[in-house]
Every structure is written in C-alpha cells, then in structure tokens.
Amino acid sequence: MTMRADAIYSSTVVGVPPAEDAFLGKASERIWLPALRAAIPELVSYDLPVAGVFQNCVIVSIQKEFPGHARRVMHALWGLSSLGLVKCIVVVDDFVDVHDYHQVFFHACANVDPARDFVLVEGPLDQLDHAALRPSYGGKLGVDATHKLPAEAARIWPDRITMSQDVRELVSRRWKEYGLLDAPRDPDAGRLF
C-alpha cells in the first residue's frame, strides 16, 4: 500500500449480521464438515447461524446411540480448535434439518426440560464477546434437544409421528379450497403438508 498510488485493501467490517462475512462463514461451515465428521463420526450435519456471528451458536444433528450422547458431542465440539470458543451448542436428532430453524426451534421446545437438558460450563470465548464476565472467558450453554432414551427420561418417550404422504398430497391439493392463502409448510420438506 505504501508503494502504489492505486492500492486496494481488501477487508470485511465486523458488525451486526448479516454482513458481507456471512458468505465466508457459510462456506467455511461446509468446508469443515468432513473434518468434523472425522473427529466426531456420529455428527450428521451442523449449522453456524449467521445471526450467531458463527462463534456464538452451533446447531448440530447427531445419530444418537446412548444416554448422554448429546453431552458427549457438546464437549467434543468445545474441545475442537475454534469451536472451543462457541458460546451455545444445540444438539438435535439426525432427522432434524439443522438449517431449518423452524424444525430446530420445535425440537428445542418439545424435547427440552431445562433442569435435565441444559449444560452450563465455563471456558474460553471469542475476544470480541462483550457479554462475557471476563475478557475471552465466560459461560457456555449446551442444549440437548434430542429424543430421550429410557435412561434419560422418567417418562416413556413418545414415538415420532409423521403425516402420511397421501394426507399431505390431499391437503396440498385442496389448500386454496380451505380458504387459506399461503402455501403450507412441511417440517420435513420445507412445506407444512
């Protein structure tokens, strides 16, 4: 820059999302997925929400196999490089689309008992985190939004219910006839029915 009159300095500006770095964050999310799966084989997918500025929240889906499995994954993620700075981890089952925040929110609301499913720990945080009690160090939250196995729940956990394809097609065909304007959303395929 000191040698050229027409020098170009490339950078991004950090601020309230979404900003131009959103595309870089989403690209890195996909680039690192195979490495995360190598370290944590039960991990199906993950999402770094733009609103979470990529280091404040991670949503992960896993193939749950044993009691406490979601907690194991939380701690594994907090032990991996830059993911060690993550403030909040939400773990859902493998059939939940981590990129569909409606599905994630439903399972976080339906499957979570805060007394049982919140994990509160302390550890390193991003140096830009102004909410931390101390610079670069503070509280972290893990949320187990997976189905509960018998050893994890005092009650019998209900089976997952799904609408048959015949009913979905019938409702979709007759949607306007019902007097409803917007197309319905299907939690499994981006539409309701």
Tell me the pLDDT tens digit for each residue of 87-129: 999 999 999 999 999 999 999 999 999 999 999 999 999 888 8
Measured at the CA of 187, the angle between CA 159 and CA 50, to 5 degrees, comes to 120
Mean pLDDT confidence for 160-167: 86
pLDDT tens readout for residues 47-69? 999 888 777 899 999 999 999 99
pTM of the model: 0.81
Mean pLDDT of all residues in 11-21: 71
Partners of residue 58 on adjacent β-strands: 89
Task: Tell me phi and psi for residue 74, to 5 degrees.
Answer: -55, -50
Residue ranges, comma separated, of all CATH 3.40.1670.10 domains in the chain are: 22-161
Matching CATH number, 22-161, of 3.40.605.10, 3.40.50.720, 3.40.1670.10, 3.40.30.10: 3.40.1670.10
